[in-house]
């Protein structure tokens, strides 16, 4: 019997597995995909995540982007330097598998191409059912992403989440003179389009991040946006994927089991950043299970509390900002152009240098007063 079975090896599951294995616990990682696996994602990662690991992420970074450009219908450009905190641009197959390999080095067992189809809880253990047989674990972490089944199988019922939609298009391109990061706010109703550079191409995409849905062709928007960079979609591959945005604090623990990452709906509802919060929740889930194994009382219950206090408290502000910004996007964008500091502030939030709660009240006041 394993101390912990982790279902899903994205940033959340791989992080939890690494930290549990490092503390000497026996860990089984299950993923239905053959690893390394592709995940539709812009691949922009805050460098702050390095602080949560004792190994160097350099081999997993495609390139570092030191400048961000925002536009409204290709105009009204805002330029922000990332200073000493460039954004990491990663290929998710490389990045996620890199963390998985670190977990394996610490002794975690990996079984990919193994889909969890059902669960049972008996006496002192979780029985995890897959087409390849059953696995037994004292603890369980559901980290199976936005399309996962673990929350349902664990009996969490209706979760508080806002399901956003995004389309990502990979454009192969060898030469990268300007590894800059681009956001376009004018063409997508209730969302934005992006162009994130990689060493071997671009990840372009468009997403809607509110409950309002307007008929709009993401493909057409991205095609037009790409033409601004003299890029075509002829050799591009495209992938649609839901995003489970944070929509309120909720219980993330049950009998000897926790939810982490997007299956716990941790994604920032304003920026749609999901990698950093998924890693954060994976880290906190590993600490909770370690504490529970060490007989600390209410350790799993405390995980739900910690996620509410340390992440949810911030997300309340992110959600308020999103509600105002995506409802009146041009007004919101005007605030950014008139107050260039607000764009710098957003990059500082992404870097972990500032928190939403420190700045959001001021930002909301600016948005309300226009
Ligand atoms: C188009 C798009 C662009 C994005 N861009 C960014 C970005 O630039 N920056 C950012 O921070 N975030 C971005 N995100 C969000 C980010 O990709 C996710 O929040 C993040 O991947 C969540 O990590 P996770 O570990 O929770 O789950 P995932 O990365 O989704 O991993 C879940 C894993 O679980 C496995 N799995 C699922 N079901 C089962 C099962 N039944 N049994 C076994 N295994 C299973 C899957 O195969 C998968 O490997 C983007 C999302 C989308 C859709």
| C-alpha 10 – ligand 1 centre gap (Å) | 6
Cα 336 to Cα 70: distance, rounded to the nearest angstrom = 10
Residue 370 is predicted with a pLDDT of 59
pLDDT in tens, 139-174: 999 999 999 999 999 999 899 999 998 999 999 886
The answer as to whether 210 is a domain residue is no
Specify if 227 maps to a domain.
Answer: no
- From 41, 149, 206, mutation site for ligand 1 pocket: most ligand atoms within 8 A of C-beta: 41
**What sign results for the dihedral spanned by CA atoms 139, 143, 144, 150?**
positive
**Alpha carbon distance 112, 103 (integer Å):** 14
pLDDT tens-digit map of 16-59? 999 999 999 999 999 999 999 999 999 999 999 999 999 999 99
Reading the block at residue 127, the tokens are 């029985």
Q: Whose CA is nearest to atom 19 of ligand 1?
A: 274
Task: Please check whether residue 192 lies inside any domain of the structure.
Answer: no
| Vertex 320: Cα angle to 260 and 15 (nearest 5) | 20
> Which residues, 6+ apart, have CB-to-CB distance to 26 below 8 Å?
2, 3, 4, 107, 109
* Ligand 1 lining (C-beta closer than 6 Å): 7-13, 30-33, 37, 39-45, 115-116, 143-145, 148-149, 166, 168, 205, 241, 243, 261-262, 267, 273-276, 278
Longest dimension (CA), the chain: 62
Q: What angle do CA 106, 112, 115 make, to 5 degrees?
A: 130
Q: Does residue 252 contact residue 265 with C-beta atoms inside 8 Å?
A: no
Per-residue pLDDT at 338: 79
Residue 366 CA to ligand 1 center (angstroms) comes to: 34
Residue 177 lies in a domain: no
3-class DSSP assignment, residue 107:
coil
Mutate to test the pocket of ligand 1, among 10, 68, 195, 239 (most ligand atoms within 8 A of CB): 10
Q: Closest by alpha carbon to 7, among 171, 150, 107?
A: 150
CA of 268 to the centre of ligand 1 (A): 14
Structural domains of the chain, count = 1
What pLDDT, on the 0 to 100 scale, is given for residue 62? 95
Burial of 50 (0-12, 13-18, 19+ CB in 10 A): middle
Task: Please state the φ and ψ torsions of residue 162, each to the nearest 5 degrees.
Answer: -115, 115
Residues in the chain: 370
Does 30 reside within a domain? Answer: yes
Look up the CATH number of the domain holding residue 97.
Answer: 3.50.50.60
Residue 332 lies in a domain: no
Asked if residue 360 is part of any domain, the answer here is no
Which ligand 1 atom sits closest to the C-alpha of 146?
30
Q: At which residue do the structure tokens 């330097």 appear?
A: 81
Ligand 1 atom closest to the CA of 130, numbered from 1: 42
Helices 356-368, 329-338: crossing angle, 10 deg rounding? 110
Q: Is residue 179 part of a domain?
A: no
- Looking at the CA of residue 241, tell me the nearest atom of ligand 1: 53
Across the 370 residues of the chain, what is the mean pLDDT of every consecutive 10-residue run?
A: 98 98 98 97 96 98 94 91 91 98 98 98 95 97 98 94 91 79 93 94 92 82 92 90 96 97 97 97 98 94 97 94 89 82 81 82 69
Sign of CA dihedral 187, 91, 58, 197: negative
Q: List the domain range (segments joined by +) for residue 312.
A: 2-64+87-159+247-326
Cα torsion for 135, 301, 280, 19, to the nearest 10°? -50
Which tokens is 265 given?
Answer: 């709906």
Q: Residue 101: which residues within 8 A CB-CB, separation 6 or more? A: none
């Amino acid at each position: 019997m394993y101390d912990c079975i982790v279902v899903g090896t994205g940033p959340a599951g791989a992080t939890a597995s690494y930290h549990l294995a490092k503390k000497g616990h026996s860990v089984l990682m299950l993923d239905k995909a053959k690893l390394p696996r592709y995940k539709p994602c812009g691949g922009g990662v805050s460098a702050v995540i390095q602080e949560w690991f004792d190994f160097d992420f350099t081999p997993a970074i495609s390139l570092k982007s030191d400048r961000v450009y925002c536009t409204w219908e290709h105009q009204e450009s805002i330029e922000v330097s990332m200073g000493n905190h460039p954004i990491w641009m990663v290929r998710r197959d490389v990045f996620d598998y890199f963390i998985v390999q670190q977990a394996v080095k610490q002794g975690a067992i990996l079984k990919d191409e193994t889909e969890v189809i059902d669960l049972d809880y008996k006496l002192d253990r979780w029985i995890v059912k897959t087409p390849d047989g059953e696995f037994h674990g004292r603890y369980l972490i559901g980290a199976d992403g936005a399309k996962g089944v673990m929350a349902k199988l664990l009996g969490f019922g209706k979760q508080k989440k806002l399901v956003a939609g995004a389309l990502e298009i990979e454009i192969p391109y060898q030469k990268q003179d300007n590894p800059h990061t681009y956001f376009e706010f004018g063409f997508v109703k209730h969302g934005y389009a992006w162009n994130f550079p990689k060493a071997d191409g671009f990840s372009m995409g468009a997403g809607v991040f509110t409950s309002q849905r307007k008929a709009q062709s993401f493909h057409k928007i991205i095609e037009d946006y790409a033409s601004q960079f003299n890029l075509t979609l002829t050799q591009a591959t495209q992938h649609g994927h839901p995003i489970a945005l944070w929509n309120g604090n909720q219980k993330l623990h049950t009998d000897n089991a926790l939810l982490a990452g997007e299956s716990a709906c941790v994604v920032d509802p304003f920026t749609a950043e999901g990698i950093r919060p998924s890693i954060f929740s994976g880290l906190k889930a590993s600490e909770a299970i370690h504490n529970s194994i060490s007989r600390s009382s209410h350790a799993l219950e405390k995980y739900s509390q910690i996620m509410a206090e340390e992440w949810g408290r911030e997300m309340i502000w992110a959600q308020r900002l999103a509600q105002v910004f995506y409802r009146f996007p041009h007004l919101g964008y005007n605030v950014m152009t008139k107050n260039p500091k607000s764009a710098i502030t957003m990059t500082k939030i992404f870097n972990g240098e500032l928190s939403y709660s420190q700045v959001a009240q001021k930002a909301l006041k600016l948005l309300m007063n226009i």
